Amino acid sequence: MPVSKVDNLDLCELWMDIIQPFSDIEYQKKVWFMFEGGEVSTYEDSIDEILNISELRPVSKYQDYLNSECHALIQELVAKVDHYRYSPSYINGESEEKLFADPDWKTIVKLAQRAYHTLESFKKEIEHV
């Protein structure tokens, strides 16, 4: 059965919403550490959310919905976040300064930015089909 445009768009939007906090340092500073912007969230919450969603809706089940690049980037990001969850930095609840200086966190942010923009491009392609 062919995948519908609506299903593709829904899945893109779901992952974009989940990935966005990881891709935006200003968001992280504002929401996670200064508790501004009307949202109540911490980086622990965002880590739990991406890992929970990846368990409930594994990306591997949706290979027909996302292009291979989106699929691969999401899987890689989830793996990096999952690995980070067991790092001393996460376990010790690092401060803002230490989190943003952590090379592993910088890798997650860059990967999230790439995944977000790739999903955004894929979404635009779908919308124009």
Task: Give residue-wise pLDDT tens across range 8-21.
Answer: 788 889 999 999 99
**pLDDT digit string (tens) for 68-90?**
899 899 999 999 999 998 888 77
> How far apart are the C-alpha atoms of 124 and 51, rounded to whole Å?
26
Mention every residue, 6+ apart, whose C-beta is less than 8 A from residue 67: 122
Task: Please say whether the beta carbons of 31 and 70 come within 8 A.
Answer: no
* Selection from 44-48, 66-70, 117-121 with the highest mean pLDDT: 117-121
Residue 95: pLDDT above 80?
no
Name the pTM for this structure.
Answer: 0.88
Continuous segment of H or E residues that includes residue 64: none
Residue 16, C-beta contacts closer than 8 angstroms, at least 6 positions apart: 116, 119, 120, 123
As a whole number of angstroms, the distance between CA 122 and CA 110 comes to: 18
